[in-house]
Amino acid sequence: MTVTKKSWQDISAGMIKHREETIAAINPAVPEPPKDLPLNVTGIPAQLLPKDVISITETPTETLIQKLASGQLTSTAVTTAFLQRAGLASKLTNCVTELLPDRALDRAKILDDHFAKHGKTIGPLHGLPISVKEHLSMKGLDINAGFVSWVGKIAPDDALILKLLRKAGAVFYVRTTEPQALMHLETDNNIYGVTVNPYNTALTSGGSSGGEGALIGMHGSCLGIGTDIGGSIRSPAANNGVFGLRPTSFRLPVGGWAATMIGSEHIIPVIGPLSTSLEGVKVFMKTLIDQQPWVYEPSLVNMPWKEAPSATLLRKSDGKRKLRIGILADDGVVKPHPPILRGINTLVTKLRESPDIELVEFPPYKHEEAWQIISSLYLADGAAEEREAIDASGEPWQPLTDFIIKDNPNVKDLSISELWKLTQDRDGYKAAYNQHWNSINTTQPGPDKTSEVEVSAIPEMDKMVDVILTPTGPGCAPPHNCSRYWGYTSQWNLLDYPCLIFPTGLQAGSEDKAEEGYKPRNDQDRYNYELYKPETYVDAPISLQLVGRRYEEERLIEALEMMTDIAGMPFTT
């Protein structure tokens, strides 16, 4: 018997057909968008979907949770609404790999029946639909991680994070796109094609969790799961104007995903939420950590979710200390585009008026060196696994896969000695950056207060910066195949600092003039500078990043709540 190997094109066609069938199976039917579409498609759902679907899908995540918990909404109604809107979002942005109407509605019915019978929820996410990036295992479903050759691999079990979310009451109803090899800050693979940005479909949705980003940006989901090793949660969150959190490693369970580089621990990939609301991010973290996931996944840190007041940054009620924000507007390598700088300036101007906030410039510390180190550690086997997984099907290499693997001079098959040397460089850089953080606006390390007992110089904590405000990238969502500078996100993967992405509410526009006569600092800076034309970026969300110290997710969220409150975000243009 001869087996004819399917071409990669046939495999792709089969997967797209399956995806379309799952969308076609939604009842009521997902409407077909008109042929002539504006670049900004975020307004289309309101034109095509029933009012109640719009109302449900645009309800803040935390309010949806409350309405489900009080019986004001059924899980069936909410799940049906999100299935419809996700189907439409996919027709508009190509963000979905499949809908799961049968699984989701069966589950919703069980939850609704339980609520009807017992009058109470089964957990804090009772009935809430959650979207899931494709490469997180769902038992019995394909997991391909963006490689054509992996199509047909079937997940033997659910990822642990899904088991815990399910136990808390979640309903999984949609799986979302990701790029080839999971290693782009965009989303394009040879199975499903390009996922575009709903605010401007000529721009990228970001990546690698770009399916999540576009879907949530379209309100086709209110809460979804992404993964991040260089910016993969944050780039799509920023590009699509939603919230996203890259937690410190080993706080959330990562067991059960499909990817290359499994076993590599030089740079730790993490899992985290994207959501239409900051509360969505918070409830996701709290719900998982309250279940003590370290009991099931022993690599995790046994660290409870800290609720205020123990995690409270000092606020108005306590005059002793202000929230101290370091402003890192430009990493010194690639200067951000005008809309990003406008976003930071607008926010900083508002914050400056508050007596509860202290702003301090946070100079970059050798961010170029950080990229050297991290880009050498990512693919320390010379990207052997990626090459094999791509070439096995004959699928073409994507330009951004070339960029990060073939055109990246730091990708080498290292020896163990070289690896250890790089790991030392990494740890040395981390130590130096930490010292840098400790030194900002602190009295220089010098004679201690108790100098008569000759204590070695250790900096004092009470004057240190709490969080850093910085861009998520060197611009808003760029056109396709142009996301070639990772530094604003990968910097924090190297350091393993938690990062929170938030939309300012502002959007790029014609007022963001290009800087005349700018002299680029280097090739990367030149590429980015030349990319910028105000008309290219129209309507792109202006999002920013807040960075905290390791394991301080709770304070990071609280800091953003405080900043939002004080500055009156979201801003309106």
Residues recognised as catalytic: 133, 208, 232
Nearer to its own copies, 243 or 250 (CB): 250
Nearer to its own copies, 438 or 481 (CB): 438
Among 458, 513, 519, 523, binds its own copies (CB under 8 A): 458
Is residue 525 within 8 Å of 334, Cβ to Cβ? yes
Number of residues that bind its own copies (CB under 8 A): 67
Q: Binding to its own copies by residue 450, rule CB under 8 A?
A: yes
Nearer to its own copies, 278 or 380 (CB): 380
Pairing of strands 171-176, 188-189: unpaired
Q: Kindly write out the interface string for residues 479-518 of this chain, putting x where it contacts its own copies by CB under 8 A and - elsewhere.
A: ----------------xx----------------------
Q: Binding to its own copies by residue 132, rule CB under 8 A?
A: no
Find the binding residues for its own copies in span 275-294 (CB under 8 A).
292, 294
Is residue 179 within 8 Å of 398, Cβ to Cβ? yes
Nearer to its own copies, 308 or 384 (CB): 384
Among 296, 307, 511, 515, binds its own copies (CB under 8 A): 296
Q: Binding to its own copies by residue 446, rule CB under 8 A?
A: no
| Nearest distance, CB of residue 171 and its own copies, angstroms | 11
Q: Binding to its own copies by residue 431, rule CB under 8 A?
A: yes
Among 189, 264, 287, 470, binds its own copies (CB under 8 A): 264
Is residue 211 within 8 Å of 176, Cβ to Cβ? yes
Nearer to its own copies, 422 or 542 (CB): 422
The total number of residues shown for the chain amounts to: 573
Is residue 225 within 8 Å of 273, Cβ to Cβ? yes
Residue 243 half-sphere exposure, CB side, CA atoms within 13 Å?
A: 25
| Nearest distance, CB of residue 263 and its own copies, angstroms | 3
Q: What separation in angstroms does the CA of 271 have from each of 230, 251, 287, 544? A: 12, 9, 14, 20
Q: Kindly write out the interface string for residues 102-131 of this chain, putting x where it contacts its own copies by CB under 8 A and - elsewhere.
A: -----x--xx-xx-------x---------
Among 7, 302, 345, 349, binds its own copies (CB under 8 A): 302
Is residue 297 within 8 Å of 291, Cβ to Cβ? no
| Nearest distance, CB of residue 343 and its own copies, angstroms | 28
Q: Binding to its own copies by residue 395, rule CB under 8 A?
A: no
The helix (run of H) or strand (run of E) holding residue 201 is: strand 200-204
Nearer to its own copies, 20 or 496 (CB): 496
Q: Which residues contact 163 (CB under 8 A, 6 or more apart)?
A: none
Alpha carbons 147 and 538: distance in angstroms, whole number:
32
Q: Binding to its own copies by residue 62, rule CB under 8 A?
A: no
Alpha carbons 406 and 397: distance in angstroms, whole number:
10
Residue 538: both structure tokens together: 């129209």
Q: Binding to its own copies by residue 3, rule CB under 8 A?
A: no
Alpha carbons 333 and 329: distance in angstroms, whole number:
11
481 burial class (0-12, 13-18, 19+ CB within 10 angstroms)? middle
How many other β-carbons are positioned within 10 Å of the β-carbon of residue 89?
32
Among 261, 267, 468, 538, binds its own copies (CB under 8 A): 261
Among 1, 309, 416, 513, binds its own copies (CB under 8 A): 416
Phi-psi region of 344 (alpha: psi -120 to 50; beta: other; left: phi over 0): alpha
- Residue 69's nearest CA partner among 151, 125, 5, 10 is 125
Pairing of strands 188-189, 467-471: unpaired
Q: Binding to its own copies by residue 443, rule CB under 8 A?
A: no
How many other β-carbons are positioned within 10 Å of the β-carbon of residue 1?
2
| Nearest distance, CB of residue 549 and its own copies, angstroms | 7
Nearer to its own copies, 9 or 292 (CB): 292
The residue range among 218-226, 335-343, 390-398, 410-418 that interacts with its own copies, by the rule CB under 8 A, is 410-418
Q: Binding to its own copies by residue 434, rule CB under 8 A?
A: yes
Q: What separation in angstroms does the CA of 361 have from each of 191, 327, 487, 500? A: 45, 5, 19, 19
- Residue 160's nearest CA partner among 294, 59, 286, 321 is 294
The residue range among 212-220, 425-433, 510-518, 527-535 that interacts with its own copies, by the rule CB under 8 A, is 425-433
The residue range among 346-354, 392-400, 426-434, 504-512 that interacts with its own copies, by the rule CB under 8 A, is 426-434
Nearer to its own copies, 420 or 518 (CB): 420
Alpha carbons 501 and 492: distance in angstroms, whole number:
13
Alpha carbons 497 and 246: distance in angstroms, whole number:
8
Nearer to its own copies, 331 or 385 (CB): 385
Among 166, 315, 321, 463, binds its own copies (CB under 8 A): 166
Q: Binding to its own copies by residue 531, rule CB under 8 A?
A: no
| Nearest distance, CB of residue 130 and its own copies, angstroms | 15
Find the binding residues for its own copies in span 73-102 (CB under 8 A).
none
Q: Binding to its own copies by residue 419, rule CB under 8 A?
A: yes
Among 87, 255, 339, 364, binds its own copies (CB under 8 A): 255
Q: Binding to its own copies by residue 348, rule CB under 8 A?
A: no
Q: Kindly write out the interface string for residues 350-389 of this chain, putting x where it contacts its own copies by CB under 8 A and - elsewhere.
A: ------------------------------xxx-xx----
Q: Binding to its own copies by residue 551, rule CB under 8 A?
A: yes
The partner residues of 132 in beta bridges, in order of sequence, read: 175, 225
Q: What angle do CA 349, 352, 354 make, to 5 degrees?
A: 130
Q: What are the b/e assignments for 17-54, b being 16+ CB within 10 Å?
A: eebeebbeebeeebbeeeeeeeebbbebbeebbeeebb
Backbone angles phi, psi at 507, to 5 degrees: -130, 150
**Residues found near its own copies in the complex (CB under 8 A):** 107, 110-111, 113-114, 122, 158, 163-164, 166-167, 169, 255, 261-266, 292, 294-299, 301-303, 380-382, 384-385, 413-417, 419-424, 427, 430-431, 433-434, 438, 450, 452-456, 458-459, 461, 464, 495-496, 549-552
